[in-house]
Amino acid sequence: MPRLFTALSILLLSTAASMQSCTLESQECIDAKAKVAQLESQRKDWASLATYREANAQLPLPTKDHTRVVFLGDSITARWADHGFGNFFSGKPYINRGIGGQHTPQILLRFRPDVIALKPRVVVILAGTNDIAFANIQDVSDITNPNTFEAIADNLISMAELARVNDILVVLASLLPVSDYEKEKDGKQRIRTVHRPPAQIKALNEWIKGYAARSGHTYLDYHSAMIDEKGFLRDELSDDGLHPNDNGYAVMAPLAEQAIATAQKSKKEDQNRSKRRATTTMKENVMGMIHKRGAPLFFTDGRT
- Domain regions of the chain by residue span: 1-44, 47-267
Q: Which of 156, 169, 160, 176 is nearest to 252 (CA)?
A: 176
Assign 290 to helix, strand or coil.
helix
Amino acid at 172: L
Assign 11 to helix, strand or coil.
helix
pLDDT at residue 135 in the model: 87
Residue 63 CB neighbours (<10 A): 8
H-state helical runs in 20-145: 27-44, 53-58, 75-78, 85-88, 104-109, 111-114, 129-138
Edge-to-edge strand list for the sheet holding 122-126? 94-98, 69-73, 122-126, 169-173, 218-220
How is 153-206 classified by DSSP, letter by letter?
HHHHHHHHHHHHHTT-EEEEEPPPP--S--B-TTS-B---TTTS-HHHHHHHHH
Q: Which of 19, 45, 44 is nearest to 33 (CA)?
A: 19
pLDDT at residue 82 in the model: 95
Cβ(220)–Cβ(256) below 8 Å: yes
Cβ(114)–Cβ(70) below 8 Å: yes
What is the fold, at CATH topology level, of the domain defined by 47-267? Rossmann fold (3.40.50)
Q: How confident is the model over 49-98, as pLDDT tens digits? A: 999 999 999 999 999 888 999 999 999 999 999 999 999 999 999 999 99
What span, in angstroms and rounded, lies between the C-alpha atoms of 51 and 56?
A: 10
Count of H-run helices and E-run strands, the chain: 12, 5
Q: Which of 256, 124, 139, 251 is nearest to 200 (CA)?
A: 139
The tens-digit pLDDT sequence of the chain (304 residues) is: 555 555 555 545 555 455 555 555 666 676 566 656 656 666 688 999 999 999 999 999 999 888 999 999 999 999 999 999 999 999 999 999 999 999 999 999 999 999 999 999 999 999 999 999 988 887 644 445 566 789 999 999 999 999 999 999 999 999 999 999 999 888 899 999 999 999 999 999 999 999 999 999 999 999 999 999 999 999 999 999 999 999 999 999 999 999 999 999 987 676 555 555 554 555 556 556 545 655 443 334 444 3
pLDDT at residue 5 in the model: 53
Distance of CA 179 to the CA centre of its chain: 21
Distance of CA 153 to the CA centre of its chain: 12
What span, in angstroms and rounded, lies between the C-alpha atoms of 109 and 274?
A: 33
What are the φ/ψ torsions at residue 45 (nearest 5 degrees)? -135, 75
What span, in angstroms and rounded, lies between the C-alpha atoms of 171 and 218?
A: 5
pLDDT at residue 65 in the model: 86
